[in-house]
Amino acid sequence: MRAAGIEAGYGRVQVLWGAGLDVREKESVVLLGANGAGKTTLLKVVVGLLPAWKGAVRLEPDDVTAWRTDKRVRRGMAYMSEIGVFPGLSIDENLRVGGQFIEKTALKRRMEELYAYFPDIAHRRGALAGSLSGGQRKMLGIAKALASSPRLLVMDEPSAGLSPLFVGQVIEVLSRFRESGLAMLIAEQNIAFLDLADRVFTLDGGRIRFEGSVAELEADDSLHRTYFGLA
Amino acid sequence: MPDTGAEARAKLVRRVILDTSIAAVVVIGMGVARGVYSNELMLFNFVMFLALAQGLNIIYGFTGYLPFGYVGFYGAGAYGFSLVVMHLHASALVGMAAAAVAALVLAVILLPLLRLSGAYFAIASMAAAQAVYEVVANPDLENITKGPYGVSLSDVFAPAFSYYIALAILAFTLLLVVWLRNSRFGMSLQAIRDDSVSAAMAGVSVVRGRTIAWLLSALVAGLVGGVFAWHISVFYPDTAFDLNISIFATVFLLFGGATTLCGPLLGVFILYGIYNVIGIAVPQYFEFTYGALIVLLVLFLPNGLVSLLTNRGIRVP
């Protein structure tokens, strides 16, 4: 996936000023940025929830800039927002909706694979998603996003609202999917997610300020102070 | 123990059988009732509201849109039927097809309303129904719609046959709801209702889902409107576009509980039953009793009667 020269915003308020990033096959990319930096806006443009005023989004080999979200999802992109689940549906139904456009037998097989990854929710398949704890909902949100066997998983602050214990569990689960070859784009403020990163982008004021490895990020004094809070 | 795939499939089959059996009991029961109870008009109204409450359930229960102007489709159906029968001298069954087409055409014209939400959608749909009423009731259109003077369809008057057609429409509507409750498409609609953005991100086509639910809901109201015109055979525009029809269907649906099959059925049987008992026996207490019931429901059971069970984790058909 490659987003280049993205300008976008809400109404007359421009949030992104020529931002761009790319995620290669089987690569895990973390997008760091403070509140208001434009991370969610950039992800929304990538998945098609917000139109780009300028710039282009490609999901190789296609230019998907003008595509609707559901069409991008069908081409292999999955997105997990902070909410992530449908509270009025059961766990099983959430997964079925997540993989609703893939063939029935394939979906059934995929659901069993996912239940093996997430034993906590596997035991409560008939329970309403609204009755789950915050951590379980996050796990269900990830499982739902993965139900369609995407090539690229895009996540907006998967650590939001979670205790450090659950953040650790989320990172552990995601690292297993990373090892299986799933490409990921994770927008975060929590630097614990850098453990998952092959490459890092930082976003500030709607512009990409840095692109490189975690080691390069740590070596930059200014960025080190900003994101690691140390001199 | 976790459910296995086979158990989940067996559970789904049991759910469908139970839901279909409930639908069959209601339809057969209303058919038998005609043979043992003489007030056919009251029974017909029961059938009509059972179908309308379920039709409203399709759009509100499954997508979260509450159209106060639902009666607009009902009126369009009634006049679609009447115009074809009056001017083309078509048979009543052709008239029913025209009723369906009229409601669907109106629904397509009103599709942009789905861009609105909440109270704005509710009020806009009511305004649209009122606009259709004003057109139909326009005295200048007397040659076409008979204006405010009403239509008479004595040529096709057939109370028994039309009653059974109303039952067929009820059966169709109940089966639609059974399908929505047990199908992938119905699940997608509920996902859209819960969070349309997340649904789109799961690959659900939100626009397509809402459009289909809107058209199905309008189709039900149009068919009910058509069979009303057929059964009653003489009526006026303010009868066919009476806002009370929308209000009654909405109250029945909310009283019983949306998204379920049984909720709207309970709502109609209980509230319309009370309406017919108290409203006729002691009409001076009717509005007070009715109002008090609704206030109590909103205060203590905002999700309807069925929430007494669903809040305890019990699945209600």
The answer to whether A88 faces chain B, any CB pair under 8 Å, is yes
Residue B282, domain member (yes or no): no
Residue B67, domain member (yes or no): yes
**A/B interface, count of CB pairs below 8 Å:** 82
**Distance between CA atoms of residues B60 and B67, nearest Å:** 8
Residue B111, domain member (yes or no): yes
Regarding predicted confidence, which is higher, B225 or A148? B225
**Which of the listed ranges A79-83, A156-160, B119-123 does the model predict with the highest average pLDDT?**
B119-123
Tell me: pLDDT of A191 over 60: yes
Domains held by chain B: number: 1
Q: Tell me what pLDDT residue B288 has.
A: 82
Q: Tell me what pLDDT residue A100 has.
A: 82
Tell me: pLDDT of A221 over 80: no
Regarding predicted confidence, which is higher, B227 or A93? B227
Q: Tell me what pLDDT residue A139 has.
A: 87
The answer to whether A78 faces chain B, any CB pair under 8 Å, is yes
Instruction: Give the confidence band of B3 by pLDDT, cuts at 50, 70, 90.
Output: low
Strand partners, A185: A29, A154
Tell me: pLDDT of A230 over 70: no
Cβ contacts of A107 on chain B, cutoff 8 Å:
none
Tokens of B203: 């690959």
Residue B91, domain member (yes or no): yes
Q: Tell me what pLDDT residue A83 has.
A: 65
Domain that holds residue B82: 13-242
Minimal Cα–Cα distance from B203 to chain A, Å? Answer: 4
Cβ contacts of A68 on chain B, cutoff 8 Å:
200, 205
Residue B50, domain member (yes or no): yes
Residue B274, domain member (yes or no): no
Residue B254, domain member (yes or no): no
B interface mutation test: which of A40, A46, A50, A70 has the most B CBs within 10 A?
A: A70
The answer to whether B191 faces chain A, any CB pair under 8 Å, is yes
CA A128 to chain centre: 24
Minimal Cα–Cα distance from B194 to chain A, Å? Answer: 6
Q: Tell me what pLDDT residue A231 has.
A: 44
The answer to whether B189 faces chain A, any CB pair under 8 Å, is no
Residue B93, domain member (yes or no): yes
Q: What percent of chain A has pLDDT over 70?
A: 97
> How many residues comprise chain B?
317
Q: Tell me what pLDDT residue B53 has.
A: 98
Whose tokens are 């459910």? That residue is B3
**What pLDDT, in 10s, does the model give residues B100-119?**
999 999 999 999 999 998 89
Find the residue in A nearest to B259 (Cα): A88
**What pLDDT, in 10s, does the model give residues B25-79?**
999 999 999 999 989 999 999 999 999 999 999 999 999 999 999 999 999 999 9
SS3 content of chain A, % helix, strand, coil (to 5): 40, 25, 35
Instruction: Give the confidence band of B212 by pLDDT, cuts at 50, 70, 90.
Output: very high
Rounded to two decimals, the ipTM of the complex is: 0.74
Minimal Cα–Cα distance from B193 to chain A, Å? Answer: 9
Min mean pLDDT across A83-87, A126-130, B40-44, B79-83 is at A83-87
Cβ contacts of A86 on chain B, cutoff 8 Å:
190-191, 194-195, 198-199
Average pLDDT, chain B: 92
Say what the pTM is: 0.84
Cβ contacts of A89 on chain B, cutoff 8 Å:
187, 190-191, 194
Say yes or no for a CB contact (<8 Å) between A70 and B187. Answer: no
**Distance between CA atoms of residues B285 and A49, nearest Å:** 53
Q: Work out the average pLDDT over A186-193.
A: 89
Q: Which of B187, B197, B259 sits opposite A81 (nearest CB)?
A: B197
Burial zone of B20 (CB within 10 Å; 0-12 exposed, 13-18 middle, 19+ buried): middle
Tell me: pLDDT of A229 over 80: no
Residue A8 in contact with residue A179, Cβ under 8 Å?
A: no
Find the residue in B nearest to A74 (Cα): B203
The answer to whether A115 faces chain B, any CB pair under 8 Å, is yes
Residue A18 in contact with residue A207, Cβ under 8 Å?
A: yes
**Distance between CA atoms of residues B182 and B199, nearest Å:** 18
**Distance between CA atoms of residues B278 and B289, nearest Å:** 8
Q: Work out the average pLDDT over A215-225.
A: 80
